[in-house]
Structure 1
Amino acid sequence: MAVQRHPARAARLRELEAVAAEADDREALDAAVAEIHDILAAARREAAAS
């Protein structure tokens, strides 16, 4: 997967997954999910371009 090609991005994705799993308010969850979406969208664009 394109995310794994970038160690910092992959690490951030794992951090965000943990934040989302433990979020106790909607705002924190929404922010984590939005950033996860951005990371995955960038990975999809990179995969499509290669």
Structure 2
Amino acid sequence: MQLTGPGALGPPRDRDAAVDVLRKAVDLGVNHIDTAQYYGPDVVNKVIRES
């Protein structure tokens, strides 16, 4: 699953789809999403927070 743009940098191509993936993961029971500041940077954490 990639929540960032191409090359793991910048925003996702489809932010709404990224949010939907995260919401579905939580609906399926995922309770830990590991991220790193490297990816984005800050992008993934913002998408997770929005979700």
| TM > 0.5 | no
Normalised by the length of structure 1, the TM-score is 0.39
Normalised by the length of structure 2, the TM-score is 0.38
Structure richer in helix, relative to its length: 1
Rg comparison, structure with higher value:
1
